[in-house]
Every structure is written in structure tokens, then in C-alpha cells.
Amino acid sequence: MSGAPLPSGKLPTALLSEILGMDTPSPPELLLPPRLGEDAGVIALADGALVVAGDPVTMTGADVGAHAVLVNANDIAVTGVRPRWFLATILLPEGIAEDEIRALYAGMRRALKKHNILLVGGHSEITASVRQTVVSGHMLGFSPDGAFLCTADIDPGDVIVQIGAAPVEGAAVLANEAGAAEGSVAPGLWHAARTALDEPGISVVEAALGAQALGARALHDPTEGGLSAGLYEMAEAAGLELQIERDAVLWFEPGTALCATLGADPWGALASGALLAAFPAQRAEAACQALGKDGYLAAIIAHAAPGAGVRFKDGPPLQRFERDEVLRVLPSA
């Protein structure tokens, strides 16, 4: 037990594991309880299963309403279920203008409409407890047949396919929050980073549902902590080792350029917009080809084997970041 103060960001893995381990055995209706590496929970209903997830957006003021919709929708989609209903608790800082609030809701509603998701509830208030707007979202989906995917369902011999480049979300947050770096990055890359939430975007909903249809055994949405955290979470959930093909990883150049300028490691930078999918080895190449035909970047980047942890195939372990690199380098974090 330690009384030392913790930095901002996700809870340390050991502490989170300890907290989750305090729970009593799950009742039978809780099909997927809170677990390390799982993005959602699943509750049995008489005619199917309800899939639920929650995520706050705390690190950017750039269209934070839309951002919250997308990251929460991703958490449902990685179970192989389409997101359908959204709730948001919106905490606004003192001094905010009405037009800013209207803009937040307009962005949120555009994202909801684009993905055919309904806003069904929530709460909004202005409070001295926050310095910038915080949107804590909750998303729900429904599986009529009760079927869903778990991050833990990876088998030895499976391969991990990365769908979409990283760090798209990291690029957008850095470009919108660290304006002083603009002159150090090529104008085209800077513009691409600033608009990355729109193009290529951070939604993986359709990619996840497509991967499930192609035979994915497990899906995971890397977010805070970057690709590194996402891969470690998959490995821990499945109780396996992941061996990475270093040169196969798909990088988003505007994101890596900004990371280099600001001294951040892209492996540990916000990675929404990328998707990690576990496939049986014999199905992976065909899945990559099919995803490519649908317009997605896709590549086999890792192999699952007995063991624990994440390492490069040529030997060293992948660095694990206890704090997201975007949080670390932003002056306001």
C-alpha cells in the first residue's frame, strides 16, 4: 500500500487489478463483468444481451461532444455489437459562453446522427470543479442473439491485425492543444493533425463490425496509453504473450511528426482510430485483403504465443507507458 500521489491518466494496472479483484463473484445475468482489457460489460436479458460502456473525454476541447460519442461507440463496437443509445454527463467550466455550449451539442448531435445513435439522457452543469469541459459518456448496444466478443478470447497461434493507423487521436489532441509547435511541423502535416478527428477520424465502429463478420475472435480499441497499452491489455486479458512485427505497424505520419517535435513516443500516444483484431492465423491474410477492399488500412502486426507480456519479435519488450504520452507533454496536463 502506498500513500504517494499519482499522476493524471489511467490508474496503474496493478492498482486497477487489485480494485477489480475485490468484487464478489458475478451474478449469472452479468455475462461480462469488469475485467482488465475489456472495453464493455454485458448483461443478459430475456431476449438477448445489453452491452454497456462508459468513457470520459478529458484531454481536448476540440469538438469534445463528438469525441465523446465516438470513443464510447468504439467500446461497444469491439464486442461485435452496434452502438445504439448514448447518455452524457457534461461538466462545463465557469465562464463558458452559451455559444460554446451550443457548439458542443451540435458536434455531439452530428456524430450521433452519422452513426444512427440516439441521445437518451444525461446531465449538464457549470461547475468550478473543472478547468475545461469534461464529457463523460455512456453507450449501450443490444445483441438480439446474446452473442458478443471478448478481448480475452485470443488463442495461442492467433495473429493480431491492426486496422487503421495510430496515433490519430493523439495527433488531433496535440495539434489542437499545443499550438506553439505549429511552426516546427510541415504545414500539410499540421493541418492533417488538426483535422484528424474528421479525416481519417477516430470511429472504428464499421471496421469492428466488418472484422467480426470476417471471423475476428477478439477486438480491442486502444485509447489512452496508445498502441502499447492496447497490446498489453489484450495480452493480459488473454493470458498470452504478443510478439510484435516491428516493421508492420501502421503509423499516422502527422501523429508521429508531432510526437517527434514534442518529445512524445507515438507508441504511448492516444490511439483511438486504430483497432486491434485477433484472427485465427489461417483467416488473417484474407481478412486484411477484404478490409483493404473496403478502404481500411490493415496489417498483421503481432502473433499470440504461450507466455505473458508484449515484446518485439526481434527480442526486447515493448515499453509500457504508465501515463499517456500526450498527457505527459501537454503543458496544461
Q: In terms of residue numbers, what domain contains 124?
A: 27-143
Instruction: Provide the CATH number for the domain around residue 296.
Output: 3.90.650.10
Domain boundary among 108, 143, 178: 143
All cell numbers assigned to 50: 445489453
pTM: 0.93
What pLDDT is recorded for position 314? 83
Q: How confident is the model over 97-113, as a mean pLDDT?
A: 96
Q: What is the spatial distance between Cα 73 and Cα 304, in angstroms, rounded to a whole number?
A: 27
249 and 191 together in one domain: yes
Tell me if 12 is assigned to some domain: no
Residue 170, in any domain of the structure: yes
Give the pLDDT score at 227.
98
Domain final position from 118, 143, 168: 143
pLDDT at 1 over 70: no
The answer on 265 and 124 residing in a single domain is: no
- Among candidate residues 246, 260, 38, 66, the one with its CA nearest the CA of residue 170: 260
Reduce the secondary structure of 247-259 to three states and give it as a string: HHCCECHHHHHHH
Residue 302 belongs to a domain: yes
Q: What is the pLDDT of residue 332?
A: 61
Q: Are residues 42 and 72 in the same domain?
A: yes
Pairing assessment for the beta strands 275-279 and 159-163 based on DSSP bridges:
antiparallel
Cα–Cα nearest to 234, from 244, 220, 248: 220
Show the CA angle centred on residue 56, arms to residues 311 and 31, nearest 5°.
Answer: 70
pLDDT of amino acid 183: 81
Q: Pairing state of beta strands 241-244 and 309-312?
A: parallel
Tallying the residues shown for the chain, one arrives at 333
Relative to beta strand 30-32, strand 41-45 is antiparallel
Helices then strands (H, E): number in the chain? 10, 12
**Mean pLDDT calculated for residue range 1-19:** 83
How many distinct structural domains can be found in the chain? 2
- Co-location of 283 and 252 in the same domain: yes
More confidently predicted of 332 and 244: 244
Task: Report the 10 Å Cβ neighbour count for 84.
Answer: 17
Residues 85 and 125 both lie in one domain: yes
Quick check: is 150 in a domain? no
* CATH number of the domain enclosing 66: 3.30.1330.10
Q: To the nearest whole number, what is the mean pLDDT of the chain?
A: 94
Helix %, strand %, coil % of the chain (to 5) = 35, 25, 40
* Same domain assignment for residues 76 and 204: no
Local confidence band at 297 (pLDDT 50, 70, 90 cut-offs)? very high
Judgement on whether residues 76 and 194 belong to the same structural domain of the protein: no
Percent of residues, the chain, with pLDDT higher than 90: 82
